[in-house]
Amino acid sequence: AVEQLEQVHLRLELEIERTKQMHQKKLEDKEEELEDTRKSCQKRLRQLEMQCEQEGDEKQSLLREKRDLEGLVATLCEQIGHRDFDVEKRLRRDLKRTHALLADVQLLLETSGAEPGPPGSQEEWAQLRRQWEESTA
């Protein structure tokens, strides 16, 4: 009976040892799996951080480009405005010259005693044409 109890005791100790080893193995497997998951998560985190940094750099670059383009548009609009103003100024000046030339022609016609209409002589016509061309040049 004592021998039988010792055998049962020995079997139970072996069973306990086997169960401990089995649990230890499961624990090690879980720890290894957890470590793999941790490494995988850290790697993914680094990738996401790099992606965020790249996107941030790209955003800054796009914002700089946007500011540059807005400045260019403003400059072009200003130049167009000045150009329109310059064209208008030149056209007004040409109109004044044309009016002055017309007044000269009318005065010339009145002083020559001719009737209103085209000048009678070719020389007068050529002189008026030269004056007009000089004023528009």
pLDDT tens for residues 89-136? 888 998 898 888 888 888 877 777 655 555 556 777 677 777 777 776
Residue 34 lies inside a defined structural domain of this protein: yes
For 74-97, b/e burial (b = at least 16 CB within 10 A) is eeeeeeeeeeeeeeeeeeeeeeee
User: Is position 133 within any domain?
Assistant: no
Residue 131 lies in a domain: no
Residue 127 domain-assigned (yes or no)? no
Residue 6 in domain: yes
- One-letter amino acid of 59: K
Q: Is residue 123 part of a domain?
A: no
Tell me the pLDDT tens digit for each residue of 83-100.
Answer: 778 888 888 998 898 888
128 CB neighbour count, 10 Å cutoff: 16
With CA atoms as reference, report the closest residue to 133 among 107, 94, 106.
94
Provide the domain limits for residue 12.
1-101
The verdict on residue 83 lying in a domain is yes
Structural domain count, the chain: 1
